[in-house]
Structure 1
Amino acid sequence: MKRSEPARRGSGQGPTDPGLLARPLDFISEDHLRERQICTEIDRLVAARTFDRPAGVIILRFLNEELGVHLRDEVEDLFPTLARRCTDEDSIASVLGRIRHDQDQALSLLPSVRGAIANCLDAGANLSSEDREVLARFAAHVRRHLVAENAILLPIARARLTRGDLRRLADHMRSRRGLPTGHGV
């Protein structure tokens, strides 16, 4: 599959279809599916005796091309908007704190993850035991924050965000991807 070709909705096998940006929370949910699929690919790399080059390319492309913009969607728009809209009973501050902690832990490992995969791709080498451990820790942190986002954060967002909030979120997400803004929600 070419990088620019979105996969069938719900497969997690390729970048999220930009057509879903009209429904930004659905788009984020699909991005989460994609992240889980990448974690599965990372698990396969960690468990494999020899380095799977095509999987390494897929993972590295995701880390370099998709992950950063997805995290910006959340950190720059979704999280602050939720913090403004939620009530005390939502306890959103503690949820966001847990999610940010796991994201920060994953991001601190990201240079090592990228480096390990790039080295294997460039040198035709296998992952070292240290590389395998770092990749496994990275995937664990990603999964942990995805659980909180999918089980707690997105349902609260669906209940609390206004149509205007969703329009702004969609516009900012489109803008980050170099797409025209102003397509209603």
Structure 2
Amino acid sequence: MHPSEPALRGSGDTPTSPSLLANPLDFISEDHLRERQICAVIDGLATVDALDRRSATAVLRFLNEELNVHLRDEAEDLFPLLARRCLPEDAIEGAIARIKADQDEAMRLLPELRAMLAGCLDSEVSLTAEERAVLSRFAAHVRRHLVAENAILLPIARARLTRADLRTLSKHMRMRRGLPDLLETTDAE
């Protein structure tokens, strides 16, 4: 791939490729595609009476292995970088506050979601109507913050973050995943 060519989007069916960490905003964008795909799987689980073990396992794996790291990328690095770099007219504080509110509500539901999916997998019992409603609420909160992040935060980040900011973001994201730091990060702006 040449530097001027856009990265090909994945399907969202598998975890985001670490190769995109050289361009941290592209990695976050791809992680958002992954989250939307998982929301679709969650919707499927919420609308059927019989538990789909494969789908439930995929959701649990995502919740346990990917989601927390992604949220840390944003809370610990992306949001603070944006707060430092944005201009008053960007009104970034309000956008971040709205996103955090939806993320917080999704995270409030997370322990219950994990427990009920694991319980159903262990007991081979299907989800109750109430449990399916929790799944739907969780997916709705995730989708709301994804819309705001994709429509507001990422475009502003691409305009405001410096090359040094992007190198720092990439470095911290790699460290969170236990990957070695790259000597040089390509410009994602």
Same fold, judged at TM 0.5 (above): yes
Q: Residue in 1 aligned with 2:73? A: 73
> What does 1:16-55 correspond to in 2, within 5 Å?
16-55=16-55
- 1:53 Cα deviation from its structure 2 partner: 0.1
Report what 2:137 is aligned to.
Answer: 137
Q: Provide structure 1 residue ranges, at least 5 long, that are not aligned to the other structure.
A: 1-7
1:114 aligns with 2:78: no
Check if 1:102 corresponds to 2:102. yes
2-structure distance, mates of 1:38, 1:160:
30
TM-score between the two structures when normalised by the length of structure 2: 0.93
Mapping of residues 122-133 of structure 1, within 5 Å: 122-133=122-133
Tell me the TM-score normalised to structure 1 length. 0.95
Query: 2:22·2:182 contact (CA, 8 Å) conserved in 1?
Result: no
- Stretches (4+) displaced over 6 A: none
* Equivalence for 1:3: none
For 1:44-78, what per-residue CA distance to the aligned partner results, in whole angstroms no more than 9, with x for missing partners?
00001200000000000000000000000000000
Q: Letter of the aligned partner of 2:51 in structure 1? A: F
The size of the alignment, in residue pairs, is: 178
Q: CA deviation at 1:183?
A: 3.6
Equivalent residue number for residue 87 of structure 1: 87
How well do the aligned residues superpose, as a CA RMSD in angstroms? 0.9
Unaligned runs of at least 5 residues, structure 2: 1-7
Give the whole-Å Cα distance in 1 for the aligned partners of 2:48 and 2:170.
Answer: 39
- Write the distance in 2 (CA, Å) between the matches of 1:182 and 1:81: 20
Alpha-carbon deviation of 1:9? 4.3
Partners of 1:127 and 1:183 lie apart in 2 by 48
